A = this chain, B = another copy of it.
Amino acid sequence: MRTELECIPCLLRQSLEAARFVTEDPAIHELVMRETLRTVADLDFLESPPTIAQVVHRRLRELTGDPDPYRSAKAAANRLVMALLPELAADVERAPDPLLAAVRLAIAGNVIDLAITADLTEAVTCRALQDASREPFHGEWTEFRRALADATDILYLADNAGEIVTDRLLIEQIGPARVTMAVRGHAVINDATLADARDVGLCELVEVVSNGSDAPGTILDDCDASFRERFRNADLLIAKGQGNFETLSHAEDDEDTKDGVFFLFKVKCPVVAGQVNLPVGSQALVQAHPTRPVLDPGTA
């Protein structure tokens, strides 16, 4: 997804919130804002918004000397959702369709996103998880269920700490043996890394790999070779969160986008809402529909 002009004020707001989240030093706040303004001024708008967030957060880590400024926020989110896990697991088991309940819970968990609002409260998180089955849900559910039934090698691209505890419930429904979970290669915002996966016991349930990148999304050129190979070889991709949607949703010039990507996320902004034609706040289950023509119909 390209960066729309509407994304620009939002990227600057997010940069300011991030700077204030990671340090109280007003000189750093101002420096980061000036640098973000210059970076966006020269941006190729065909790049996706997480490209900017990656630059901003790298710089914030450099300026603060803190390699992981969201460490304690991530640990708190992991603890919070782990504490809710038994109740959430029971909700899934009791549901008329446990797979659907787990999908909706995993999407509801995507509320735990400090990129969009740095002042997310525990109360908001708890309410989102408890209301998971009542939030508006729109998606290609039949297609997703069918794709799941056929898949043998599923790559599950995680998004945030805390949220990965809800992913656990979905992976248990899918069957962990055929799933590999991928997390970010380095700390960025509150996105989940290997440390978070270990923290919530996911490494004991499922194979977890790093993507090698510090982008808050999946910029394939920025990921390491072993991740890219897994990405190419998987027969089903499940991608959580707007960052993964923004970086992997189909674009005519995107050679790396493939069929069979299902995006699971909360719709958090009007630009993405317009792209998927759903209201802000919706739970979205959206299949990628590459728009580029099939070059060789014989192989389709």
User: Chain B residues near A5 (CB, 8 Å)?
Assistant: 16, 29-30, 33
User: Chain B residues near A12 (CB, 8 Å)?
Assistant: 8-9, 12
Tell whether A149 is near chain B: CB-to-CB under 8 Å.
no
B6–A9 touching, CB < 8 Å: no
Determine the residue in chain B with the shortest Cβ distance to A20.
Answer: B5
Tell whether A10 is near chain B: CB-to-CB under 8 Å.
yes
User: Chain B residues near A40 (CB, 8 Å)?
Assistant: 37
Tell whether A41 is near chain B: CB-to-CB under 8 Å.
yes
Main secondary structure of the interface of A (DSSP, over half): helix
Give the CA-CA distance A40 to B34 in the complex, in Å: 8
Tell whether A13 is near chain B: CB-to-CB under 8 Å.
yes
User: Chain B residues near A37 (CB, 8 Å)?
Assistant: 8, 37-38, 40-41
Tally of chain A residues near chain B (CB < 8 A): 18
Closest CB-CB distance, A144 to chain B, in whole Å?
35
Give the CA-CA distance A300 to B239 in the complex, in Å: 69
User: Chain B residues near A6 (CB, 8 Å)?
Assistant: 16
B41–A34 touching, CB < 8 Å: yes
State which residues 228-248 of A face B: CB under 8 Å: none
Closest CB-CB distance, A135 to chain B, in whole Å?
28
User: Chain B residues near A29 (CB, 8 Å)?
Assistant: 5
User: Chain B residues near A45 (CB, 8 Å)?
Assistant: 30
Most chain B CB inside 10 Å of its own CB: which residue of A29, A40, A41, A42: A41
Give the CA-CA distance A34 to B6 in the complex, in Å: 13
Give the CA-CA distance A45 to B26 in the complex, in Å: 13
Given A38-B37, A38-B38, A41-B41, the answer on whether A10 and B9 have CB atoms closer than 8 Å is yes
Q: Beta-carbon contacts of A72-111 to B below 8 Å, as 1s and 0s? A: 0000000000000000000000000000000000000000
User: Chain B residues near A33 (CB, 8 Å)?
Assistant: 5, 8
State which residues 21-46 of A face B: CB under 8 Å: 29-30, 33-34, 37-38, 40-42, 45
State which residues 250-276 of A face B: CB under 8 Å: none
A residues touching B (Cβ–Cβ < 8 Å)?
A: 5-6, 8-10, 12-13, 16, 29-30, 33-34, 37-38, 40-42, 45
Closest 9 pairs between A and B when the two form their complex, measured CB to CB: A37-B41, A9-B13, A9-B9, A9-B12, A38-B41, A37-B37, A34-B41, A8-B12, A37-B40
13 CB-based A-B contacts, threshold 8 Å? A5-B30, A5-B33, A8-B33, A8-B37, A9-B9, A9-B16, A30-B45, A34-B41, A37-B38, A37-B40, A38-B38, A38-B41, A41-B41
A34-B42, A37-B41, A38-B41 known; 20 new pairs, CB 8 Å cut-off, are A5-B16, A5-B29, A5-B30, A5-B33, A6-B16, A8-B12, A8-B16, A9-B9, A9-B10, A9-B12, A9-B13, A9-B16, A12-B12, A30-B45, A34-B41, A37-B37, A37-B38, A37-B40, A38-B38, A41-B41
